[in-house]
Amino acid sequence: MNNAYICDAVRTPIGRYGGGLSTVRTDDLAALPIKALMERNPNVDWSKLDDVIYGCANQAGEDNRNVARMALLLAGIDVQVPGATLNRLCASSLDAVGTAARAIKSGEVDLMIAGGVESMSRAPFVMGKAESAYSRAAKIEDTTIGWRFINPKMKAAFGVDSMPETAENVADDFKISRADQDAFALRSQQRAAKSIADGVFKEEIIPVSVPQRKGDPVVVDTDEHPRATTPEALAKLKGVVRPDGSVTAGNASGVNDGSCAVLLASDEAVKKYGLTPGRASWGWLWLAWRHASWVSVQFRPCVKCWKKPA
């Protein structure tokens, strides 16, 4: 079996909801890391790129109609290069990388770009068509978080909990206290702040120049989500799912905007284009688990079932 190497990796800063990247179209945001890979690897013949695979969870707005294909064209890659977009919700971009790696390891392709994009700030409101004439049952759905146009059969059989609701379910079932969640969140914020201050992410982040209605463009070059906080400040926050809940805006994952891409290559492509190979010989395993109320809990069965070497 062939090796699949990650030879380069870039990303935009992660913008806050309504923050510095919120005025950037999602398809334009998706194109930025692809363009950066092209600029950072000038020896590559990009017309020979086999495919671009992107993950995207929403796909209800400017990311509709195969955003991977739109992104590669907007980045300036030859029109003959294909693109495909997949959806595994929160794991979409990771799955894109795995899919690209498998294709290279199989020997079918040599050079791939894989990544993902999400702009939760630009997730649209949507409204389904009326099922009958003069219907008064029109309902507007917000596509930012969670399910929309829910099938009653799915809700009855499996549940359709959003990620915050899932987090509450997991906290209840595993007896994870509010204090423990807040402490974990505080440590994460502190580590993020230190890493930013130390320039840990500087090499991988593409500064994004955002035009303004008046004046010069604003350059976004730092992750916006991390913020200074204290145990006392976290403890004062109310639950986002229920008043007595343990999941808050301070200890839950953020609502953000951003994009990323990696360049993957076979042994042959590494030699041909003078690329610097990174990690190789990896494997992937996806498993479904229990119930939608535990949608986040996939580590346990994965560990048990991963028996064969990659």
- Over residues 173-225, the pLDDT tens digits come to 889 999 999 999 999 999 999 999 999 999 999 999 999 999 999 999 999 99
Taking CA atoms, 217 is separated from 181, 211, 214, 268, in Å, by 38, 4, 9, 42
Average model confidence (pLDDT) across the chain? 92
Fold of 5-126+151-305: Peroxisomal Thiolase; Chain A, domain 1 (3.40.47)
Q: Which is more confident, 169 or 113? A: 113
The pairing of beta strand 218-220 with beta strand 208-210: antiparallel
Q: Residue 281 — pLDDT band, cuts 50, 70, 90?
A: low
Query: How much is the pLDDT for 163?
Result: 85
Q: Residue 300 — pLDDT band, cuts 50, 70, 90?
A: low
Query: How much is the pLDDT for 297?
Result: 52
Query: How much is the pLDDT for 310?
Result: 47
Query: How much is the pLDDT for 284?
Result: 76
Spatial neighbors of 179 by CB under 8 A, at least 6 apart, are: none
Task: Give the pair of three-digit tokens for residue 154.
Answer: 């799915």
What sign does the dihedral 264-24-162-167 (CA atoms) show? positive
Percent of the chain residues past pLDDT 70, beyond the cut: 92
Q: Residue 92 — pLDDT band, cuts 50, 70, 90?
A: very high
Write the pLDDT tens digit of every residue in 245-275.
Answer: 999 999 998 899 999 999 999 999 999 999 9
CA angle 266, 109, 10 (to 5 degrees): 60
The answer to whether 7 and 277 have CB atoms below 8 angstroms apart is yes
What does the alpha-carbon distance between residue 59 and residue 300 come to, in Å, rounded to a whole number? 30
Picking from 73-82, 102-111, 195-204, 297-306, which range would have the lowest pLDDT averaged per residue? 297-306
HSE (CB half, 13 Å, CA atoms) of 171? 21
Write the pLDDT tens digit of every residue in 152-168.
Answer: 998 888 888 888 888 99
- β-sheet bridge partners, residue 114: 53, 262
Query: How much is the pLDDT for 56?
Result: 98
Query: For the chain, which residues make up each domain, given as ranges?
Result: 5-126+151-305
CA angle 194, 198, 201 (to 5 degrees): 95
Spatial neighbors of 154 by CB under 8 A, at least 6 apart, are: 160
The burial class, CB within 10 Å (0-12 / 13-18 / 19+), for 33 is buried
Task: Residue 140: count other Cβ atoms within 10 Å of its Cβ.
Answer: 9
